[in-house]
Amino acid sequence: MNKQAIGIFDSGVGGLAVAQAVHQLLPSEDLLYIADSGFMPYGSKTQDEIRQRCHAIVDYMATQGAKAVVVACNTATMAAIGSLRAHYSLPIVGVEPGVKPALQQSKSGVIGVLATPSTIASQSFQRLCRQQAEDLGRIVFQPCPELAATIEALHLDGEHTEALLRRYCEPLLSQGVDVLVLGCTHYAFIAPLLRRILPSGVSLITTEQAVALQLQRRLTPSSQLGTQPSATPGRVRLLTSGDSQRFSAQLQVLWPSVENPVITPLHLSCAELG
């Protein structure tokens, strides 16, 4: 078995939902997770700044011997995935909203996408939606400027978060949306609350399981995964460019089952890209 780690990173804790899905699907694999909380929110940065930051993170993961990298952030995927794949030879998996399966599942032909304002505004995201939608139906977008920060603060339930979600969902529901796509990895952590407040006829699509399966597909043909599960669970290394104590508190809520977590501070400098 190839015991090099799989690298996973996000601007904060949203990518932990992806990391958990990968850990569940590939329990014997070592994981290296980076929460780039010291540079968040990515949504307020320029596309060039995000690309530079992503390259710095993947550079670091490469020096740590990562055999693959998951860009577990929609904003970072839209801004940097092409540049990363052109620059590095290791497999790089991004996060894309499940627009096409949502349209295929929709009975009304209208789906909604909740995402950060920067993701919705990006040309890459709009192009992706046009390509995936084709003649399948109509997509309604709803920017959610406060939601990722609310989740980072661990407000996963309660009156404020519920009111915020109702405000974001109401314009979508009024247009006949019957499938709702979560276009930010952070949003997976408020999926239980969303399911409680959405009408029974509206379904929810998240992408963390699909990302884990795509990673498995990318690594299996090159024999970078073992053919048999190891009896020893993979080790999970956790690093953050932000406050380690805050990240530890977030981890206890968002991934309480992770074994023996050790959080290491990470300091990165971003070189100019040519």
Q: Which residues are tagged catalytic?
A: 73, 184
The rounded distance, in Å, linking the Cα atoms of 253 and 90 is 32
CA 192 to chain centre: 17
Structure tokens at 154: 């661990």
Question: What are the distances in angstroms from CA 43 to CA 26, 57, 120, 265?
Answer: 30, 17, 10, 23
Nearest 10 degrees: CA dihedral of 165, 167, 168, 171?
140
Structure tokens at 41: 């929110």
Amino acid at 257: S
102-111: b or e for each residue (b if 16 or more CB lie within 10 Å)?
A: bbeebeeebb
Question: What are the distances in angstroms from CA 139 to CA 97, 112, 133?
Answer: 12, 6, 8
CA 250 to chain centre: 16
Longest dimension (CA), the chain: 52
